Amino acid sequence: MTLPETYAGLAGSPAIAPSGVIVVTGGAGQGIGSGISRALAAVGWTVAIADRDISAARDVARDMRSDGMDAHAVEIDVSDEESVARAFSRAIPELGSLRGLVNNAGVGLVKKLAEVSVPEWDLLHAVDLRGAFLCSRAAIPDIIRNGGGGIVNIGSVQALGPHYGYSTYAAAKAGLIGLSRGIAADHGRDGIRCSIIHPGLVDSPQNREIFAAWGDPEEWIADYIGSRQMIPRLIRPDEVGAVAAFLLSDAGQSITATEIVIDGGSSRMAFDRTGDDE
């Protein structure tokens, strides 16, 4: 099996000792969820790809198995309490001992707050924040019974400093920061650690669809990474996956209540270079 260069060095490391099942919600997409799922499976975890689109989840799991990875599709609607309970009480236990969870499922919205409808607000928060609460609550008892493990939440740099039109999305992702710290505080003595990753501009089909609505996506990307990032390139999904794999491994067993930013330096730019002659 050929591993992406980003996390190939993790495989076989004595610090990476996967044993059990990791659930990745929203793992059927071609962006961050897929990158995380592959990174975890590449170092030896059994990955449950939990997604509302079960057909897409099965396709991703089948592709991963063809590459020698242990991956399985599980149907779930993270915003629905009964669906979450059903997945964590029936489908997931059949795969092995649950040792971790990545709350990645999410929807986006780019719209000024004054133009956001209540249904739009409710849908985004139901998936992005309530879904992480429901899945964490369902997973924690099993993780404790199986000897402990980790939870990784996927936030966003928008929670740290929202761009124009991202107020609703930023609010949900900021809520995830508090949820992550709360899980770490509530269950650290139960053997559970929890941290949050804040990706910046990730190269994904969903993001490219958004950029296309604003004009030429390649032109927009080039302008953004050239003027608003310290490292002028898009972030790859497997880079986010590599960090999640580290946090969920034995190497990350003393890391909890932590925020890790993967954004090419955009959230730390003291200025932007839009309009530079360089």
Residue with tokens 């971790």: 100
Alpha-carbon distance 110 to 130, whole Å? 20
CA nearest neighbour of 199 among 176, 226, 168? 176
Distances (CA, A) of 125 to 114, 133, 236, 237: 17, 11, 26, 23
Distances (CA, A) of 92 to 9, 64, 189, 249: 29, 18, 24, 20
Identified catalytic residue from 7, 166, 169, 224: 169
Alpha helices per DSSP H over the chain = 5-8, 32-42, 54-66, 81-86, 118-125, 131-145, 167-187, 205-212, 217-228, 237-248
Catalytic site includes residue 164: no
- Beta-carbon contacts of residue 111 (< 8 Å; ≥ 6 apart): 120, 165, 168
CA nearest neighbour of 148 among 45, 19, 14? 19
Alpha-carbon distance 199 to 29, whole Å? 16
CA nearest neighbour of 72 among 134, 27, 132, 128? 27
Q: For residues 243 and 10, is the Cβ–Cβ distance under 8 A?
A: no
Q: Looking at the annotation, which residues are catalytic?
A: 169
